[in-house]
Structure 1
């Protein structure tokens, strides 16, 4: 599971004034921190449930009453980010890095693109429009369906790249309401409790059960559970429920089913999180290790296992007949996919299992080229951060890329 994050940032120098306005708006659970530089950051328990209506219900009146700029950021499952920019109560810009993620609707891709000319006015003086456009380039639905991945393996990497331009501490953009007090100590981000009662009285998204999501849907709130179409075999594959899959297939369900929401087959979903034994049983029940999904544009089970870094599943799927040298006309070989993820163990395993290291990507790149290009982008982002702490997940990815670069440079199979 990826990161689910919502946070807010307002330009101002008085934490007490921001707190007063927030409590006047009506906050149940909330943390506040700052000012740090130009920004005061805060987190809201209801907004953290990925409730976009709640996000705007807070940001708009806060901006209006303080007569100040307010940014609200949302990161969904490390797949896409959104932001809302208000100033003096007016919504000036609304951005979504993959607008068709849930419903395949491409009609909003132009409308949800970032207004980088406008955004630059809220950034440090040396920030260029071109730099912002590079960070915020939309990952289109057509690309997603064709298996073309965003240049950012994790959507929050966009936030790390954007943070120094806005002069917001990157750890603030990485932190969700539910993280504080669980994975992040309040003093680490200078957070003070401004909610009602105690933090334990107001759960974040990870403390909620499915019954809470269902209740939100009944009340008309947006929630991940309310927006995702149902597909019993896919849902069973995602939660690792083999007994349910066996029952559904026994009742006539198609184990290779795809639909508008789930463009990849259930085996592809399972390949990223289940065990090798689970995958083997799905194949015994009829799952096709070669099937990519709708019109062949989804990701194969083997590709999904590679991108998830699941080496045991990679080995099992190849043993079950998957092609270690499968090639995608948009993304290249599995070695290219593993290089994009920065996974040395998976690259090494693929080579051991017979992957061809000489085949180039559609852009003419070797796996080593992909690693070097990513490291160059990360280095540029780090320079912009000027000593600010690097978020742990980003640092882990950078470390993985460096290890992989060293391994590839020593490999006799890698062309220089």
Structure 2
């Protein structure tokens, strides 16, 4: 009995301790929950695309971002702004962006995502209208993310690794005896910067002449004629070219596909959009890979309210050679280094139908043996 009495006397005390611990535990859990992303919040995001939304590479990025946000954010609303910088003038681009400025200024968006440099330059230009609390997550293919962070600290993104010099390097790996390289670019600011960077590194290709042609000064037929005048041991790099509509093409991909089909020399490209469309290859990145990185950055920026704590990422690129096109131009792939990714590899009948061939052979043998036994 004394033992039971002692437990009874301590019970209220133990109960009080449990209640106190429960209270502090609940408070701690509440504080922890407040520091994480609230799945019930109706987050709003603005995605600004420099190109039109039918642009495949931009589509790949946006599709991945939408899928990621849909799975990780409940009630997320996405607004879209299509600048279509290829077809619209600077005045039209500014008008489109300015229509969204009141909403941006009022802090309507939890995060703004910008794809490619035309959109990023607008964010830089109008940075004073963007509240410091709004995180910016961007993809630049010419390394201007740092410029954006300099005027809007609450920003991060992917710094693109497009490098025409690397494409020349790949071309010389595949065609080591090349005497000349023709690099075609357009007059846009981004391409002009690429051209300046390329001219600084031309000395590294001392055994091969590198010629840069401003595509804005030539028609499609004139560019094609330039490629035809190249020596037999040469190749072409078709860089960013926005003037395709001048020659009646609806997209860069259509322009490139026709150019590759008619050009007598192998061509390389700095974007994966034109891979498998007739180019020999290129040093490129994937829109889906960039989309996954941007989506994760966007989630982190919304969760923490800060993007400046997220490290600016370097884009991963691949050296790619299309085997089917290599065969067309009699390019040997035997001595290519392991870092070169080979695509469109053809497989033998045995490689593609191994299981069926084995089953057919065994069935034939079985029927032959069975027939022999019955005779």
TM-score relative to the length of structure 2: 0.32
**Structure with greater strand share of residues:** 2
Which structure is higher in RCO with an 8 Å CA cutoff and minimum separation 6?
2
TM-score relative to the length of structure 1: 0.29
